[in-house]
Chain A
Amino acid sequence: MKKILLMGNPNVGKSVVFSRLTGVNVIQSNYPGTTVGYTKGQLKIGQNEMDIIDVPGTYSLSPSCKAEEVARDMFFNEKPDLIINVLDATNLERNLYLTLQILEHNIPTVIVLNMWDAAKRKGIHVNLEKLNKITGINVIPAVAVTGEGIKDLVNIVNETTIKKDKQLSKIPKMDDSEKWAFIGEILSGVQKIEHRHPSLLEKLEDASVRPLSGIIIAIIVIFITMQVVIGFGELLINYILDPLYYQYYGPFITSVVENFIPTGFIHDILIGSGYEYETSFGLLTTGIYVIFAVVLPYILSFYLVLGFLEDFGYLPRLAVLLDSIMHKLGLHGYATIPIVLGFGCNVPAMLSTRILEGKREKFIAATLIAISVPCMAQTAVIIGLLGKYGIQYIFMVYGTLLLLFIIMGSILNFLLKGESPEIFFEIPPYRIPHMGTLLKKTWMRVRGFLIEALPFVFLGILAINILYLVGIMSALSNLLAPIMSQMLGLPNQAIDALIMGFLRKDLATAMLAPLNLSPTQLVVACTVLASSFPCIATFIVLIKELGIKDMLKTVVLMLFIAIITGTILNLILN
């Protein structure tokens, strides 16, 4: 099998080209560093089978971070038959540096001039024939998001990999300054740039990083994000999912199960006390309801908005804006991205802490996210529980979490030796997101949530049923009851919910619903839940990313902080 590497600077559209070639979907975003690991896919044209690898973006073959090391190692160790070098046509000067480095190593290469649409819009003209003549290799203009140019690419890839005599570039080896001079020469012959006035988007780009206007824009963006996520989520629940569940699914599944298994243990596990109750604790009733009608709507609306912000290019600007504050918390601006992802689901957030360079930063980021960033599942149930009493209670929970974030970050920054490295990255231009790509990305993430959540919710309900049945739950309740009632001011039954929280936070918070707690008690319970154990999936990722020892540190810290915070809140509120 032939091997092909897709290489280029970060954020030039490699992953979109990869999806087009292989049909394998990978998450693409408008900021550097989305792809830290690599993805493999296949392309088959007739008898010609090829492995294609989406290599992490790099500016050169001499690495300055993890992702770049991966890229260099693949280039030198994988013995590729062909390199597809993807370039951003709006930024040729910088992109060509890597190209020259690649061409030195005598591996067949084709150049894809991606973002051809954006180049046209910016008034950049590139003479393809001349560029082809100078480099001696094929140059294909493309717009990866719409698929333009991909057919030509496939044909040329096919031809070059079948051909016996390799077509190599005749550009000689050069040192760095010679390379830059040569690039200058190429561009003066090949590229013409019409002068255009900055567009509205370009003006907005600068305004979003300037101190005053940047902060105003950030507040507006966050406000609109919250409004849209909550509004759209509620809309889906009230007009689509609730009616579906209560009028069609619930009665249907109940009658089916009762037909086959009228009573007994299995019956109880499957439908619990009946679909009419939100907390009947049946696999097919509460299990399905919590996932599809409580959490899924918010997950869907969150990922739509997040995807939009990602593809638009807003997140790196938020990272620049927050960089100084983040440094005071032992992080740096780029940690903004895992944190924002954490509001969706903590699992991908933990995975994306890989873009942070140091071990210290990774630990701080993972700990802060685990403790004080509530995922959408938690948010959904917090809104469900507290929303009816008024927005001020929801603010209490989030305010406390924000305070925890700042206090713990400062403390960890003080206690752990070392300093976070300085921020240095490219800020992508604002781009109007491509609808199809955005929807596909949202769907991939929603599917990821379902695959992850379904087994654990089912497992959780099963475990709860069994724990009740054998009496472990009541024993635990009795043991921990004094702490609960004395320190947190919660009734004993609430302990079940907190234990449940280990498996799935969303189920746990739902268990609080029938206890008739006062709004302030709910605030305490929600905060303790949100800041204590992450769900079991996060837990597993945490072990993988941090190692057992650091993970245990995080967990101890977490338990401690959850109880203390709960106690203080209880003292203040009740």
Chain B
Amino acid sequence: MITLVELKNGKKAIIQKIEGGPGLKNRLEVMNIREGKTIRKTCAAPLRGPVVLEIEGCKMAIGQGMAKKVWVEEI
């Protein structure tokens, strides 16, 4: 398992686990970032900026700190 930050640009992966308190988990979940979902990482913005990812055709930007708490398995 690797985190979203480590996942290479353009690669698809399945979310395995989200660390952190229920607050963070819930915030991600209502945006459809939850365990079992397939994501594609578009890129990370310049200077260790936010990770941009795509779920079901919907794009999201998520800060590095949060992205580090999302563990995925590449497919």
Contact = CB atoms under 8 A, between A and B. Distances in A.
Question: Are A and B interaction partners?
Answer: yes
Interface of A: 59-60, 62, 64, 90-91, 93-94, 97-98, 122, 176, 180, 205-206, 209-211, 214-215, 316, 319-321, 323-325, 332-333, 422-429
Contacts of B62: 422-424
Contact of B58 (A91, A422, A423): A91
A427 B43 contact: no
Interface in B26-58: 26-27, 29-32, 34, 42-50, 52, 56-58
Nearest to A187: B56
A321 B49 contact: yes
B49 A324 contact: yes
Contacts of B14: none
B45 A209 contact: yes
Nearest to A193: B57
A425 to B, nearest CB: 6
Nearest to B48: A324
A51 to B, nearest CB: 28
**Which 3 pairs from chain A and chain B are nearest by CB?**
A422-B63, A324-B47, A211-B46
Nearest to A68: B30
A333 B43 CA distance: 16
Given A209-B42, A427-B60, 10 more contacts: A60-B26, A93-B32, A205-B59, A206-B42, A214-B46, A320-B45, A324-B49, A422-B50, A423-B62, A424-B63
A267 B46 CA distance: 60
A424 B60 CA distance: 7
Given A424-B63, A426-B31, A320 B49 contact: yes
Nearest to B63: A422
Given A422-B66, A424-B27, A93 B56 contact: yes
B21 interface: no
Interface residues of B, number: 30
Nearest to B31: A59
Contacts of B60: 424-427
Contacts of A428: 59
B10 to A, nearest CB: 9
B59 A91 contact: no
26 contacts: A59-B30, A64-B23, A64-B27, A64-B30, A91-B56, A94-B58, A97-B32, A176-B29, A180-B34, A206-B42, A209-B43, A210-B42, A210-B43, A211-B43, A211-B44, A316-B61, A319-B61, A321-B45, A321-B46, A323-B45, A323-B61, A325-B47, A424-B60, A424-B61, A425-B61, A429-B59
Given A94-B31, A422-B66, A324 B58 contact: no
Contacts of A180: 34
A233 B59 CA distance: 36
Q: Which of A97, A211, A423, A424 has the most CB of B within 10 A?
A: A424
A422 B56 CA distance: 23
B18 to A, nearest CB: 13
A423 B61 contact: yes
A426 B59 contact: yes
A480 to B, nearest CB: 44
B4 to A, nearest CB: 12
Nearest to B60: A426
A60 B30 contact: yes
Contacts of B65: 422
Nearest to B23: A64
Given A93-B32, A427-B60, A62 B26 contact: yes
Contacts of B66: 422, 424
Contacts of A320: 45, 49-50, 52, 61
A99 to B, nearest CB: 12
Contacts of A425: 60-61
Contact of A323 (B30, B42, B43, B49): B49
Contacts of A97: 30, 32
Contacts of B23: 64
A537 B66 CA distance: 39
Nearest to A212: B46
A243 to B, nearest CB: 47
Contacts of B29: 176
